[in-house]
Structure 1
Amino acid sequence: MACKENCNCTLFHKDVIDKVENKMKDDKTYIEISELLKVMSDLTRIKMLEAISEDELCVCDLGHVLGITKSAVSHQLKTLKKYNLVSSNRIGKMVYYKLKNKAIIDLIHASYKELRG
């Protein structure tokens, strides 16, 4: 059996090829994954996600932990909220933020382990 299009090679492992093709997602899904990873590729946002991974923090506390202004924190939170990565909890006049999905911090920790061996 020949490969698709202009390739002259022979498929030796059709069962493996079929399995791989069946697990592949549509392009829209891969574009969404790419966009999510772009959002997470920012140093400040990675640190912010780590900071709120277990405890809720307000904008002021996040600014203190990260060493950035409240305005910068708010800007980054807006992006993280747009991609549904953080949740907010209003208590009186204060708004507290927390990581919405544990899988995100697991990805960050797995990346750290990969880098550190």
Structure 2
Amino acid sequence: MLGASTMQQHNGGQPTGAQVEVAVRAFRMLSDATRLRLLWALAQDEYDLGNLVTVVGATRPAVSQHLAKLRLAGLVACRPEGRRVLYRARDSHIRALIAEAVHHADHEVSRIPRHE
């Protein structure tokens, strides 16, 4: 949950236009099943392209294209390690966003009673 100081805005407590645009871009990236699976995996650990192909069950070109989109959106970071490139969720905000989305889905699918 966001604290009051985190959400201090200039227009009556509403997010700024720039904040809304960045949030919309992030949610747009989450609207694809392969990208959501990638982000879930990357929120747990670092992976190279070959391992991500296995984890998400998509083709190498598809995973590569999705990773490029996620990097451009600022949701995924990468670092070289020898001849490999390792990918991870960019930060704790992304990890929390993915966890909340999946936990919400679990409540809906499992018909767990709603709670605050």
Q: TM-score range by the shorter chain?
A: 0.7 to 0.9
Q: Which residues in structure 2 correspond to 1:1-40 (within 5 Å)? A: 22-40=12-30
1:23 CA displacement = 0.5
- AA aligned opposite 2:32: D
Deviations 1:81-115 (A, max 9, x none): 00111111111211110111122221222223333
1:37 CA displacement = 0.7
Compare 41-50 and 31-40 and name the one that shifted more: 31-40
Residue in 1 that maps onto 2:83 = 93
1:41 CA displacement = 1.2
Report how many residues are paired: 99
The runs of 5 or more residues in structure 2 that have no matched partner are 1-10
Distance 2:104 2:82 in 1: 42
Which one of the candidate residues 53, 68, 82 is aligned to 1:63? 53
Partner SS, residue 78 of structure 2: strand
Partner SS, residue 45 of structure 2: coil
Distance 2:98 2:82 in 1: 32
Compare 28-37 and 61-70 and name the one that shifted more: 28-37
Residue in 1 that maps onto 2:93 = 103
TM-score if structure 2 supplies the norm length? 0.75
1:26 CA displacement = 2.9
Which one of the candidate residues 47, 52, 67 is aligned to 1:77? 67
The runs of 5 or more residues in structure 1 that have no matched partner are 1-20
Residue identity over aligned pairs, in percent, reads 26
Larger CA Rg, structure 1 vs 2: 1
